[in-house]
Amino acid sequence: MPLEEIRGSFRVFENSLRGSLQKVGFEHLQVGCDCASKYVQGTVAASYPLSKVGNGTSFFKIILQESENPCSKAGAVNTYMFGKLAEDCASVVHQGDIMVVAGFSVSKSTSEADGHCCRLEVSDEAGSTIYIKMKRKIKSRESTHQVCTRSSNTITGSETVAMSVAPSYTYTPLNLVKGGTIVNLYGAVKFFKPPYKCKGTDYCSVITIVDQSDAKLICSLFNVNRDALPQIYKNGDIVRFHRIKIKEFSGQLQGISSSGFAALTFDGTVGTPVVPRTSSKLFTFTDEDRKTIEDLRIWVASNLLNSAVAAKLSGIQPPMYFDLTCQLVGKAKLDGSSYLLKVWDGTKCPFLYWKVVVREDDFEGDSVLIHRLRNLTVDVVVYDNHVQLAKSLKVGSFIRLYSLHAKFQSPEDEPDVSYLQFHLHGGTTYGRGITSLPEGHADVEDLKKFLNSVDLMEDESSESPSEPENAYFTLGSCSEGCQQLSVTVLRDHQHFEVTALSTILNSRSPQPYRIRAKLRQFEPEKLHQSVKLHCPQCKLLQEVPDGSELDLILQEASATCPRPDLQNTSFCESVVWDTENQGQRRVVIHFVKHDELLQDPEDSLIMIEGGTLEEILKLSKKFKGIIPVRAMEDDLELLDLSAPFLWQGNIPHYGCKHCSNPKAIASLSPLAAQKDPLWEPTTIAQALGLVPLEYVFVMKFMLDDGTGTLNVYLMDCKDFFQIPASEVLTNNIFQENIERIMNKLCPSGTNLDDLPWLDCFIKSYYVTDGREQQICYRVFDTTIAEDV
DNA sequence: TTAGGCTTAG
């Protein structure tokens, strides 16, 4: 067998080996020596991850340290294993194991840093045999996570080698971090917001860490993938951040995830296994890391006061905010901005509590189980930003609700009775949020054990404070209006109180409000009339030219003749396209070169002289971007800014006539010289000295909340309808969607009573025509609910 | 870009 484990006494084994083979010391290993009857013996000082060489053969490298002669200059030798032997060894070899290698060949080492002039090579094909005397039996395979393990007593030579593969990280104590640097940090979590979808494109997690230096650092971490953010479950967890950027904000240093950011998270409890939580497949983890974590754990135990309150349902003391670890047994949609989670933690809530009635069709969960648990489950209503995550939770899974609010509320028709309600309010303040706990998490295992021990029969027979007959009532009966559907979702500022329109009408100061009202009327009726072009700089609005206007603009601009001598400029390759049967009309296409070469059409920017709208639209299906140009004096230049400066897809992009300062087309050449030019409209506009206009929906809503009516403007690029205004004029599906939404918000011939509610943010502001000031209102941070 | 800890108000 090419790989054998040595059982029993190593001395006995070695004696048996000496009958046929001769031991060779590391200092006698030389290229060209006859090793057929030799063996070497050493201790595994370090191992590297199993990898593959160019032809796909498996490759495994270890550093073998001469056990009996650790002071020798040639005390360590790199051993390279190939093929199946490499795979077999990689799965069993650990640092500290004693290894005997026979049937090896000796090659010249490729690096002086290897510490030995030679290296050993072994494989099944070469007839090699490796014997391993395990340092200890290891049941769990924690060490498979290790990219490289450095022995605590490695000699200098092998340490150098180890570090050249697995970088040695330096960790900055939190009191020594400086603005404008990128550092590696260790810290204990003092506060955290579980990952949530933020206003940008990513998920965000805000984490405050502390360490033995007593300094704290608030870190904002972003990632498009929720799972890539640190998996923190409670304060006191320990994090390791690599490549976090430090910058100053409001006079305070903060950390922010930058390119290459990576995190590991560990349970912060002394004595629990040191197992890193990460979604990354490859990371380093050394003995020093383990030591750092163990030291931090000890420090946490006596220095970090956990401000979060964790409670069982049996122990709550309302009103309070607390963290609840529980199992999800059912869930249901309530309306666009609220969602029901039915949960239990095996204990009984001692108060009369609120149960939410939902339509059977909207409910997901095992009704038989829920009936059996009826005296132990509680209904949690989650709002706003938490709805999306709540929807995605799996019934049966274990979850933690952070900063859950338990408070009493009396129904209007029963002022003498108060029921306990559980709300996970909107927003993320105080770390409000939900995490799904993974199977195997210690708290999940404990909860499972406890849930299995609960005697349901005993509970079912007992008198319950929340008998369904008298405790069930609908969302609506607790507070006027709260059950009625809102067709909008608030993207932020959920703590704002609702202001009546009558109050707003009587106020003259510019300020934001949260309102709840119905849409009586809106203008314009025709959707295409609502899309305008808006200059973010001078704020002017203008109409979007229609097809016939555009055609005319292009015809006028094409009146100048293409100049053949302006072709083939430094960054373009030009062709003349003779139009058939169209008299004198000639079209010149300039292909923008990248790195002296033409790109694939779908990545290419082209410029066109003398093309019609029809031709441009045809070409825009094939090329990344099209810039209409004309020849003027000695250079190519943009058309008059009445015409688009760019087509991308079938969308024309315009520049502001007032704010732009157009430059010669040659200004694009630095962009063309970039490694991978993306040809984004904003970068092209910037290079050409243009301020790009944005497409916006402009609508006027007449809102009514029963206390008054208010005209409110909507001016929005994409956030309100979740449909980009830039694409709506050229996309039938988007047009139909918006028409459907508007029809739901304000169906014609419907009484005000039957219209849906809109929760909105509006802000008041003044406009002046030079003589008179007028107060106006505008919608912001409001989105149409997904299910509308 | 986003958030920049510091409870909703249903």
**What pLDDT does residue A179 have?**
96
Residue nearest to nucleotide B8 (CA to C1'): A425
Share of chain A above pLDDT 70, in %: 87
Residue A787 — very low, low, confident or very high, per pLDDT cuts 50/70/90? confident
Q: Is the CB of A759 under 7 A from strand B?
A: yes
Higher pLDDT, A471 or A568: A568
Q: Flag the least confident range among A32-36, A406-410, A605-609.
A: A32-36
A83 close to A57: Cβ distance less than 8 angstroms: yes
pLDDT exceeds 70 at position A12 = yes
Q: Is the CB of A422 under 7 A from strand B?
A: no
CA of A426 to C1' of B10 (A): 9
CA of A329 to C1' of B10 (A): 23
Using C1' positions and the CA of A250, the closest nucleotide is: B4
In chain A, DSSP finds a helix count (H) and a strand count (E) of 16, 41
Average pLDDT over residues A247-274: 94
- Phi and psi (nearest 5°) for A100? -115, 130
**Range of A3-12, A401-410, A768-777 with top mean pLDDT:** A401-410
pLDDT exceeds 80 at position A52 = no
**Range of A135-144, A547-556, A578-587, A689-698 with top mean pLDDT:** A689-698
pLDDT exceeds 80 at position A470 = no
Q: Rounded CA gap, A196 and A204, in Å?
A: 5
Q: Is the CB of A427 under 7 A from strand B?
A: yes
Average pLDDT over residues A679-701: 91
**What pLDDT does residue A111 have?**
60
What average pLDDT is seen over chain A? Answer: 83
**Range of A52-61, A137-146, A512-521, A692-701 with top mean pLDDT:** A692-701
Residue ranges of the alpha helices (H) in A235-349? 287-303
* Cis preceding linkage at A438, omega within 30: no
Residue nearest to nucleotide B2 (CA to C1'): A200
Residue A478 — very low, low, confident or very high, per pLDDT cuts 50/70/90? very low
pLDDT exceeds 80 at position A659 = yes
Which tokens in the block code for residue A706? 């029963």
Average pLDDT over residues A675-704: 89
Nucleotides of B under 7 A from a protein CB: 1-10
Q: Is the CB of A391 under 7 A from strand B?
A: no
**What pLDDT does residue A469 have?**
27
Higher pLDDT, A141 or A591: A591
Q: What type of residue sits at position A573?
A: E
Higher pLDDT, A528 or A337: A337
Q: Which 8-state DSSP code applies to residue A426?
A: S
**What pLDDT does residue A533 have?**
93
Q: At what angle do helices A613-620 and A547-557 cross, to 10 degrees?
A: 100
Average pLDDT over residues A223-237: 96
Residue nearest to nucleotide B3 (CA to C1'): A220
pLDDT exceeds 90 at position A263 = yes
**3-state class of A397 per DSSP?**
coil
CA of A410 to C1' of B7 (A): 21
pLDDT exceeds 90 at position A398 = yes
- For chain A residues 171-200, those near strand B by a CB cutoff of 7 A are 190-191, 193, 198-200
pLDDT exceeds 70 at position A418 = yes
Higher pLDDT, A698 or A771: A698
Which tokens in the block code for residue A443? 């708290």
**Range of A219-233, A305-319, A453-467, A588-602 with top mean pLDDT:** A219-233
CA of A403 to C1' of B6 (A): 13
Q: Can you state the percent helix, strand and coil of chain A, rounding each to 5? A: 25, 35, 40
Q: Rounded CA gap, A377 and A371, in Å?
A: 9
CA of A753 to C1' of B8 (A): 27
pLDDT exceeds 80 at position A283 = yes
pLDDT exceeds 60 at position A144 = no
**What pLDDT does residue A143 have?**
33
Residue A141 — very low, low, confident or very high, per pLDDT cuts 50/70/90? very low
CA of A325 to C1' of B4 (A): 29
Scan for tokens 């930058």, then name that residue. Answer: A258
CA of A355 to C1' of B5 (A): 32
What pLDDT digit, counting tens, does each position of A372-393 carry? 898 999 999 999 999 999 999 9
Residue A460 — very low, low, confident or very high, per pLDDT cuts 50/70/90? low
Using C1' positions and the CA of A425, the closest nucleotide is: B8
A254 close to A221: Cβ distance less than 8 angstroms: no
CA of A466 to C1' of B8 (A): 24
CA of A332 to C1' of B1 (A): 33
CA of A200 to C1' of B1 (A): 5
Q: Flag the least confident range among A116-125, A142-151, A201-210, A250-259.
A: A142-151
Share of chain A above pLDDT 90, in %: 38
Q: Is the CB of A428 under 7 A from strand B?
A: yes
Average pLDDT over residues A335-350: 94
Q: Is the CB of A682 under 7 A from strand B?
A: no
Average pLDDT over residues A164-175: 77
pLDDT exceeds 90 at position A180 = yes
**What pLDDT does residue A152 have?**
30
**What pLDDT does residue A563 have?**
62
Q: Flag the least confident range among A139-148, A291-300, A315-324, A348-357.
A: A139-148
Q: Rounded CA gap, A549 and A529, in Å?
A: 15
Query: Rounded to an integer, what is the distance from CA A165 to the centroid of its chain?
Result: 29
Q: What type of residue sits at position A706?
A: G
CA of A498 to C1' of B9 (A): 9
The pTM (predicted TM-score) of the whole model is 0.50
Using C1' positions and the CA of A494, the closest nucleotide is: B8
Using C1' positions and the CA of A224, the closest nucleotide is: B2
CA of A371 to C1' of B7 (A): 33
Which H or E element spans position A332?
Answer: strand A320-335
- For chain A residues 361-390, those near strand B by a CB cutoff of 7 A are 383-384
Q: Is the CB of A252 under 7 A from strand B?
A: yes
What pLDDT digit, counting tens, does each position of A79-107 carry? 888 888 888 888 888 877 889 998 888 88
Q: Rounded CA gap, A178 and A25, in Å?
A: 50
Q: What type of residue sits at position A425?
A: H
Residue ranges of the alpha helices (H) in A454-599? 456-461, 468-471, 501-505, 547-557
**What pLDDT does residue A357 have?**
87
**3-state class of A270 per DSSP?**
coil
Strand locations in A486-624, DSSP E?
488-490, 512-523, 531-534, 541-543, 572-578, 586-592, 605-609
Average pLDDT over residues A634-654: 89
pLDDT exceeds 90 at position A238 = yes
Residue A547 — very low, low, confident or very high, per pLDDT cuts 50/70/90? confident
**Range of A508-512, A602-606, A775-779 with top mean pLDDT:** A775-779
Greatest Cα pair distance in chain A = 110
Residues 6+ apart with CB under 8 A from A316: A322, A349, A351, A406
Closest CA to A17 of A96, A130, A136, A120: A130
CA of A654 to C1' of B10 (A): 44
Which H or E element spans position A85?
Answer: helix A83-92
Strand locations in A474-548, DSSP E?
488-490, 512-523, 531-534, 541-543
Average pLDDT over residues A48-59: 74
**3-state class of A46 per DSSP?**
strand
- For chain A residues 312-331, those near strand B by a CB cutoff of 7 A are 319, 321
Which tokens in the block code for residue A322? 């607390």
Residue ranges of the alpha helices (H) in A220-359? 287-303
A97 close to A137: Cβ distance less than 8 angstroms: no
Q: Is the CB of A127 under 7 A from strand B?
A: no
**What pLDDT does residue A138 have?**
34
| Residue A94 Rama label (left phi>0; alpha psi -120 to 50; beta) | beta
- Phi and psi (nearest 5°) for A63? -105, 120
Using C1' positions and the CA of A208, the closest nucleotide is: B5
Average pLDDT over residues A463-485: 32
Q: Rounded CA gap, A514 and A8, in Å?
A: 77
- For chain A residues 459-518, those near strand B by a CB cutoff of 7 A are 475, 479, 482, 490, 492, 494-497
**What pLDDT does residue A581 have?**
61
Q: Is the CB of A590 under 7 A from strand B?
A: no
Q: Rounded CA gap, A765 and A722, in Å?
A: 25
Between β-strands A3-5 and A129-133, what pairing exists: parallel, antiparallel or unpaired? parallel
CA of A402 to C1' of B4 (A): 21
Q: Is the CB of A355 under 7 A from strand B?
A: no
Using C1' positions and the CA of A197, the closest nucleotide is: B2
Q: Give CA angle at A663 (A660, A665), nearest 5°.
A: 130
